[in-house]
C-alpha cells in the first residue's frame, strides 16, 4: 500500500445465511430471471451447445449459474478482488486459510499475465467474472480458446 494510503475498507460481507434451500431459491429465482434465462439460452444456443459437448456441462446449468451469480453479466461486482481477498484473508486468519489461499491464487492470475494489477474486479468475496468463480477455480477451469497463451 502506498505511504499514507488508508487500508481498504472491509467488504460489506455476505448476505444473511439461509438455512433452507427452498427459502434461498425463493429469494433468487423469480419469473423474470427464469424468462431472461430462457432468452439467453436461446440467444447463445450454438455456443452453449459447443461448451456442453466439449466440457460436459449442460447448457441449462451454465445459464442458471450465469443468471444467479451476475444477472447474466449485468452486475459482476465493483470491488478490487486483490484488496477484498487480502482483507478477508487477514480478518479470517485465525479461523481458516480459505481467503488467504484465494488471495495467493488471485496474485498468481496477475503473475501469469492473465490480468493486470487492478484488473481483477469482482464481488466482495473475490468472485470473478460473469459466473463469479473464485481465483483458485480460474487455475483449474480457465481455458485459452484463442491460442494466445492467456486464458479467455
Residue 89: closest CA among 143, 113, 125: 125
Residue among 52, 69, 91, 105 flagged as catalytic = 69
For residue 136, which of 111, 113, 107 has the smallest C-alpha distance?
Answer: 107
Residue holding cell 430471471?
33
d(CA 123, CA 133): 10
Which residues, listed in sequence order, are joined to residue 80 by a DSSP beta bridge? 121
Say if residues 135 and 81 touch (Cβ distance below 8 Å).
yes
The yes-or-no answer on residue 69 being catalytic is yes
CA atoms lying within 13 Å on the CB side of residue 2: 1
How many residues make up the chain in this entry?
Answer: 152
List residues with catalytic annotation: 69
Amino acid at each position: 500500500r502506498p505511504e499514507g494510503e488508508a487500508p481498504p475498507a472491509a467488504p460489506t460481507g455476505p448476505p444473511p445465511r439461509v438455512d433452507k434451500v427452498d427459502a434461498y431459491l425463493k429469494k433468487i429465482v423469480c419469473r423474470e430471471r427464469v424468462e431472461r434465462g430462457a432468452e439467453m439460452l436461446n440467444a447463445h444456443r450454438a455456443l452453449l451447445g459447443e461448451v456442453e459437448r466439449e466440457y460436459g456441462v449442460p447448457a441449462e446449468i451454465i445459464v442458471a449459474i450465469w443468471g444467479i451469480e451476475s444477472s447474466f453479466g449485468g452486475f459482476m461486482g465493483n470491488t478490487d478482488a486483490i484488496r477484498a481477498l487480502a482483507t478477508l484473508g487477514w480478518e479470517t486468519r485465525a479461523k481458516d486459510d480459505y481467503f488467504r489461499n484465494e488471495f495467493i491464487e488471485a496474485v498468481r492470475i496477475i503473475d501469469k499475465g492473465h490480468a493486470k494489477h487492478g484488473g481483477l474486479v469482482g464481488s466482495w468475496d473475490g468472485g470473478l467474472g460473469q459466473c463469479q468463480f473464485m481465483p483458485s477455480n480460474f487455475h483449474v477451469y480457465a481455458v485459452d480458446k484463442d491460442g494466445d497463451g492467456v486464458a479467455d
